[in-house]
A and B are shown apart, each in its own frame.
Chain A
């Protein structure tokens, strides 16, 4: 079945640093989504991407839909302590609208 490889699995950074994480797939997706999940909560949608090559920002967050449709990255600039959490990428092809999730990137920010 379809799989998403998300990396890195975890990051420990200093407050103020920039962060980058990415997802790759062996198959094509027509939608890429990035979510953030905090402990004991459901994922919250950060950015949605619908076109190959699309670059979208949401505050300090920027995400891009890869030209090949098989990858996406998420950048966080000038990280702050409240950025702590697990970030998931998710992709959707045309198969019934189901989302395929990456393994998650756990972000820790040291003040």
Chain B
């Protein structure tokens, strides 16, 4: 298996633009997680899905952030409009069943908003 796949790996955009990050979980995994990592706040869970359904989105910073999982093999995290403080590395991870199981991380997307 190729592991968790994220795209793009790097994204540089201007403030106000829409940004879409993409994730393909490991085949057969039922849970998908979106994390954000910054120097100031470390790793933070933004949202996680179980069987394509959002279970906990309390970590999503504000209405500018939205996440979807239209099917078991694809998820998106969208920021609209983007702001410089959104600059961070965004990780996607998947696991067999929920947070109490081992999670497999993607390589991350480094987002820079200027």
Q: Do A and B bind each other?
A: no
